[in-house]
Amino acid sequence: MVEHLTGLPSRARDLSKGGAGFVCEVLRAEIISLALAPGAVLSRQELQDRFGFSSTPIRDALMRLQEEALVEIFPQHATVVSLIDIERARQGQFLRRSVELELVRELALKPEPALVEKLRSLIRQQTAFSDLGETAAFAAADQAFHRTQYEALGMGALWHLVRRQSGHIDRLRNLHLPRAGKMREILADHAAIVDAIAAGRPEAAQESLRVHLSHSLEFVDRLRQSNPEYFKP
């Protein structure tokens, strides 16, 4: 997931829709994946050197990340990747669950074979990444699985809104992902959701989604014990 974000060619920068947006997306992906760990200090000069942009787009990108509570900016001092905030994680999960419960219900009321096959194809991709132990690629395919459901109902813009509020819960999920059996658990949840949609069973689809989105918060205490430096006190 992060592999394509480092060593960025100038052509990629030239094709970006504005430097600030480009830098924001790259840094956001690295923060969510934990490649940039909670508490990491971000040097603006180093970011300018890395991306080849002036100070203005770097500053604007960091301000956007601050709006998502993914970084903390201390004027004239430092910019730091924010610690994981459990309360924000709970709110992000609540928002996503509320929206996606309605999404899977609508999809199950009128199941579309093409969508079902696309979702199953994404599950097959995730299975391959799980077998290879490729957690970053697995996480990217996981996001694609959920995004596809939004797009199937013409709700792509809503996906981006939910995504901007989900940074803390997404980091918690990525911290949890390497646990033995976790990827298989996700695959089973995804399969249950798709099977319920394909069968036209909206209540079963909702219950499968509810179970799926509950797991990471169940392990908060364990994750905090193993990585106390990552969490807001």
Q: What is the four-CA torsion angle of 43, 47, 50, 53, rounded to 10 degrees? A: -150
Q: What was the pLDDT predicted at 11? A: 38
Same domain, 141 and 61: no
| pLDDT of 188 over the 50 cut | yes
138-180 pLDDT, tens digit each: 999 999 999 999 999 999 999 999 999 999 999 999 999 999 9
Q: How confident is the model over 3-30, as a mean pLDDT?
A: 66
Same domain, 74 and 106: no
Q: What is the pTM of this model?
A: 0.85
198-215 pLDDT, tens digit each: 999 999 999 999 999 887
Q: Which two tokens stand for residue 188?
A: 């089973």
Full 3-state SS string of 189-226: HHHHHHHHHHCCCHHHHHHHHHHHCCHHHHCHHHHHHH
**Lowest model confidence (mean pLDDT) among 9-13, 60-64, 97-101:** 9-13
Q: Which two tokens stand for residue 119?
A: 């979702």
136: left (phi over 0), alpha (psi -120 to 50) or beta: alpha
Out of 81, 109, 142, pick the residue that ends a domain: 81
- Neighbouring C-beta atoms of residue 29, cutoff 10 Å: 17
Same domain, 45 and 92: no
Contact 201/108 with Cβ under 8 angstroms? yes
Same domain, 212 and 117: yes
| pLDDT of 28 over the 60 cut | yes
| pLDDT of 70 over the 90 cut | yes
Distance, in Å, from the CA atom of 165 to the CA atom of 179, rounded to the nearest integer, reads 25
Provide the residue count of the chain. 233
Same domain, 133 and 68: no
